[in-house]
Amino acid sequence: MKTLYFECNMGAAGDMLMSALLELHSNPADFLNRLNNVGIPNTKIIAEPSIKCGIKGTHITVTINGEKEEEEHHHHHHHHHSNFHTTQHLIEHLNISAAVKKNTLAIYKLIAEAESEVHGVPVNQIHFHEVGEMDATLDIVGFCMLIEELAPELILASPVNVGSGQVKCAHGVLPVPAPATALILQNIPIYSNNTNGELCTPTGAALLKYFVKEFCKMPMMKVASLGYGMGKKDFEKANCLRAYIGETDDANEEVIELVCNLDDITPEALAFAQQLLLDKGALDVYITPIIMKKSRAGFGFTCMCKLSDRKKMLQLIFKHTTTLGVREYSSNRHTLQREQTEFGSVRIKTSQGFGIKKSKLEYEDVAALAKKHGHSIAETEARIKYEKLKNYLQELGSVAIAFSGGVDSTFLLKTAHDIFGDRVIAVTARSCSFPKRELDEAAAFCKKEGIAHVIFNSEEMKIEGFSKNPANRCYLCKRELFTKILTIAKEHKILHIAEGSNKDDEGDYRPGLTAVAELGIKSPLRYAELNKLEIRHLSKEMNLPTWNKQSFACLSSRFPYGEEINPERLGKIDKAEQFLLDTGFHQVRVRYHGNLARIETDEAGFELMSSPEKREKIYAALKEIGFTYIALDLLGYRTGSMNETLTN
């Protein structure tokens, strides 16, 4: 699991946290350029090398109207102060994603509520002092942007060193940690050593509280990179915050299984014992029907529990069952990390680990909504996922959709356009792998809906190795494609790129998704866990012309891996499929095997093939296109049939 770990041995301040993350970024200079252009007035942020006790790291410096800000640790207040409303208005109008805005405002709210409680005044009357200044705004916005771009799955931190002594601020001389900082740090493990000074600031405390899932010792981790965020002051110890990013082992623990066989207990007593053990903390209790000695019917009673609960569970089993003995087994239990969130009135169970992520809608909540609105369970689940999709898109702020005109990308584009209006663009590649009929349909849809549409020339045939059709051909193509779309999006000042793969695509060999992940391309349909059937159903409700359109993949997918791809061969496939579509086929593929064309089609296509006249017509047409043999695949149409030849 991709894990970010903060080592807070010398506390945490906003500039230190951001500096540490900046060292983890693949392109710090580009990031700082984008941060300096989000719209915070009269400010500029600079990353400078800094050395503490012989360790080189990064220190963030902010200038406001050309003047350097004092470090937040010091609580100096020589610039005008901001209230919560002013800060909120500024953040809402920045050129950042909706998710970064949401996180930034939530962090400021943490600080405002703490200051409100400490000073005994309403939140809207709070003056942020140094926290509300532009330098702290840059720290918080920059930190949230870095978290979004680094995209850790889990964020952990060490207990926080808060320092000791006293600190001078606008309200006088206060103890360390400052009252607002101490309030924010409630329920977080903190400590103080003999370092005299304020080590943890309100901004640092709020960033940690908002993002960190657990404060603990550093877990076993395969570290990919680390960053040092340097403070301004010098102490006997290196004044730095260290951030690690890497892979952690997925969750496993030792558990105990307590087992006994019962043949003289009533079903009622057995059920009572099972529920009681679960209520008392057993991980699982299950009952198995068994045949015991003398062919007597009985029950196997198994209790799985933590090692620390072993004695308690043994006592309960002996007290509430008729057994005279219990067998004990020790096991290693590997689990996915689980979390329950709420989406409106529906709870969602999410679990992840071992490279797997799953989520499931709580059945009782779905059933209640289905009953309330008179829909089926399947219809209700699709609508819930659709709302999840819209919420996800809203957080992006603006988006460029990789648009093919197919079922999935049309549905995604229409949904995004309904949300963003002119803050969404469709981007389509013109290539010899993409039939003109598909390009024309994509352009016509955008024109009808009033969606800005950018068409560019894709040059996949020029990619080294592409024409040899290796097993990772799709990766090579998608990387070139999305690299160009990223440039187009930047020219149009669009924040994010999204593509239309859906939940069903996760079960097949899709090397293109590796390129998607590497380039940070969003996959909203997969995030919402919408499958093809649900997308077709929702598309029909939205009156989209693609709701029943045949599934389409680029023409390069018609070739067996290792078979050379060139424009001439792609043209033959395009002509053959166009002829079959004009003949009345709906779902059809023509696979290229040298001088043999293998036709895959659906049941309706098989019906068409039953006519000798149709078969002769098809044979004559495909022979004229350049094929010697024409074969009908008895398994019919299926996606990814060329992957069947892969051994790994």
**CATH homologous superfamily of 252-334:** Transcriptional regulatory protein pf0864 domain like (3.30.70.1380)
pLDDT in tens, 124-148: 766 655 444 677 888 999 999 999 9
Predicted confidence (pLDDT) at residue 219 exceeds the cutoff of 50:
yes
Q: What is the per-residue pLDDT for 544?
A: 96
Cα→Cα distances 647→201, 544, 564, 594, 642, Å: 56, 39, 20, 22, 12
Q: Residue 11 — pLDDT band, cuts 50, 70, 90?
A: very high
What is the mean predicted confidence (pLDDT) over 216-239? 91
Q: How far apart are CA 231 and CA 199, in angstroms?
A: 9
Q: How far apart are CA 181 and CA 432, in angstroms?
A: 61
Two structure tokens written together for 64: 């406001």
Q: What is the per-residue pLDDT for 343?
A: 52
Q: What is the per-residue pLDDT for 32?
A: 93
Q: How far apart are CA 93 and CA 388, in angstroms?
A: 24
- Which of the four CATH numbers 2.60.120, 3.30.300, 1.10.10, 2.40.128 does domain 555-645 have? 3.30.300
Q: Residue 71 — pLDDT band, cuts 50, 70, 90?
A: very low
> Considering the entire predicted model, what is its pTM?
0.63
Q: Residue 345 — pLDDT band, cuts 50, 70, 90?
A: confident
Query: Which tops the pLDDT comparison, 337 or 441?
Result: 441
CA dihedral 204, 205, 207, 212 (to 10 degrees): 130
Exposure on the CB side of residue 614, measured as CA atoms within 13 A: 15
Q: Where are the domains of the chain?
A: 2-248, 252-334, 375-541, 555-645
Q: What is the per-residue pLDDT for 128?
A: 56
- Find where tokens 């356009």 sit: 417
Q: What burial class does residue 124 get, using C-beta atoms within 10 Å of its C-beta: 0-12 exposed, 13-18 middle, 19+ buried? A: exposed
Pick from 35-44, 50-59, 142-151: least confident: 35-44
Pick from 333-342, 500-509, 548-557: least confident: 333-342
Distance between the two ends of the chain, CA-based, in angstroms? 23
Q: How far apart are CA 94 and CA 86, in angstroms?
A: 13
Predicted confidence (pLDDT) at residue 5 exceeds the cutoff of 50:
yes
Cα→Cα distances 465→343, 445, 460, 519, 570, Å: 45, 34, 10, 20, 17
Q: What is the per-residue pLDDT for 70?
A: 54
Q: Residue 410 — pLDDT band, cuts 50, 70, 90?
A: very high
Of all residues in the chain, the percent with pLDDT exceeding 70 is 93
Query: Which tops the pLDDT comparison, 130 or 647?
Result: 647
What is the mean predicted confidence (pLDDT) over 145-160? 93
Q: What is the per-residue pLDDT for 72?
A: 45
Predicted confidence (pLDDT) at residue 500 exceeds the cutoff of 90:
yes
pLDDT in tens, 520-554: 899 999 999 999 999 999 999 999 999 999 888 88
Q: What is the per-residue pLDDT for 241?
A: 96
Q: What is the per-residue pLDDT for 254?
A: 84
Q: What is the per-residue pLDDT for 132?
A: 42
Q: What is the per-residue pLDDT for 131?
A: 40
What is the mean predicted confidence (pLDDT) over 326-344? 75
Query: Which tops the pLDDT comparison, 506 or 609?
Result: 609
pLDDT in tens, 189-203: 999 987 888 899 999
Q: How far apart are CA 612 and CA 596, in angstroms?
A: 20
Return the CA Rg of the chain: 31
CATH number, domain 375-541: 3.40.50.620
Dihedral pair phi/psi, residue 216, rounded to 5°: -160, 175
pLDDT in tens, 244-263: 999 887 666 789 999 999 99
Q: What is the per-residue pLDDT for 164?
A: 86
pLDDT in tens, 417-468: 999 999 999 999 999 999 999 999 999 999 999 999 999 998 888 899 999 9
What is the mean predicted confidence (pLDDT) over 579-604? 94
pLDDT in tens, 269-282: 999 999 999 999 99
Q: Residue 645 — pLDDT band, cuts 50, 70, 90?
A: confident
Q: What is the per-residue pLDDT for 339?
A: 59
CB atoms within 10 A of CB 524: 24
Q: What is the per-residue pLDDT for 344?
A: 63
Q: Residue 80 — pLDDT band, cuts 50, 70, 90?
A: very low
Q: How far apart are CA 208 and CA 13, in angstroms?
A: 10
